[in-house]
Structure formats: structure tokens, C-alpha cells
Amino acid sequence: MAITVNTYVTDAEIDEFFQGVTGDALWVYTNIPLMIRGDATVRGSAFDMLAQCIDYIFCDPSLAAQTFLVNGEGSPTIFSPVAPITDLTEVTVIAADGTETTYELTGTNRQVFWDSSTGKITFTKNGQYGSYASLDVCPPYVDTVFPTGCENVRLVGNFGIDVPPMAKLIQLLMMYKQLQLQQPSLYNKLGNIVEEKIGRYEYRLGVYGSSNSGAGTVYSLDAYIDFLISKLPMINTYSYEAI
């Protein structure tokens, strides 16, 4: 899959966060290996970890048109790797010999339809019988499918929603966790994280439950990351919806 999003956080945001947790006002983002932090051109491992945990990539819709290469699976339907779809301007199937077939997305000869919220893209209109209302009036239905292949379908358009600040925080914490494993003598200053009780609910050490004791909850770094991931906004993509 070709994608232009490689990181949610800027270098300045990395500097601000790590200067705070290390207490070093001269700390700079280049102290983190590129393979961990990523940048505008390189995917970092912290970004990849978050994407794997939530099976979704947030994508700022204000960015220029983006291109994705997705796998065809011999079905009339595929899904955009990022949803919602703000605007879809191209759907092209690339054959093994390099021949490209681009489909009509608008007008009376429209061939492809999509659901903006879920990212579902399909050749099928109004169910499997095209524009016909029932089997009684429907001629034999001929499937049009996205042929099976590796990155053989090109999607071009505008996708995504604004990156939640919480996603940025999780990526920063994942960077910190990897630095703790890589250089524990330098990055072991951050102790357990205390989360105050909210209402009558209290979360303990990564085990989600409730208590009326009134005490705050102490999180390990791993448990706090898990807690924040559980609070990210639910994205209505094919990964979450029942099909």
C-alpha cells in the first residue's frame, strides 16, 4: 500500500514532549533514531505500532490528494485503507502486463460506487442486481470484480479525518517506550503514571474495572498506552463494522 502519511507528530512536538519528560531543555528530536520516530518520508516503528493496534491510519483531510495501492481479491468490493473518503477521483485496475483500466466514477455511465463513511468501494449498485428492483425483471447478472493481485488497484482522492491529539500522545509514548528498551539508563526517568478517578470509575494497573475507594489509579507506561488506545475515537471502517 502506498501512503503519504508516515507520522502524526512534528519534530517540534517531539522536542516539547521529551524535553518535558527528561527535564533536559536542550534535548532534540534527533536523539531518537529515525527508524523509531519516522519523518515526512520514512515510516517510524512507533507509528507502525499504533497503526497495527487500531488497524487504522488517521489522515489529515486538508492534505493534497493521496494515492493508495490496494490488493484486489476477486470480489466486486474493496475497501479504502483510510476512511472516510472525502472525495474519490480515480479507481484504476492494473493488470499483470501493466495495462491499466480506469473506471467511471460519475455521470450516467458511472461504474464504481462508494460509501464515504466506511471506505467501501464497489462495482455493485443497489445490491447485486444493478439498478433493477427484483429478480423478476433482472437479466442475468454479470459480475465485475477487482481481480486478485498484489497492489493492483490504484485509488486516488482525499481521505481521512483530523488526527486526534490523543493519537499523537500515544505515538510519543510508544517512542518513549522503545527508547526505554534501547537505552534504559537514559530514558528510565518517567515513572508510573497516575490517572485521577473520574466520577465513580477507577482503573487499576491496566485491568479495567471500577471501584468506589476514591483513590487515584497508578498506571505503568504499558497500561497507560493501552488505556489511551481504548479511548481513541472509534472509526467506522470495515475493520470495525459487521459485514
pLDDT tens readout for residues 58-79: 876 656 788 999 999 999 999 9
User: What does the mean pLDDT of the chain come to?
Assistant: 77
Most distant CA atoms of the chain, gap in Å: 75
Give residue-wise pLDDT tens across range 119-140: 899 987 654 444 433 334 333 3
| High-pLDDT (> 90) share of the chain, % | 38
Asked whether the whole model's pTM tops 0.75, one would answer no
pLDDT digits (tens, 9 = 90+) for 84-123: 888 899 999 999 999 999 999 988 888 899 988 888 999 8
> CA 101, CA 225: separation in Å to the nearest integer?
44
Supply the pLDDT for residue 223: 86
Query: Which residue, among 128, 129, 117, 126, has the nearest Cα to 88 in the 3D structure?
Result: 117
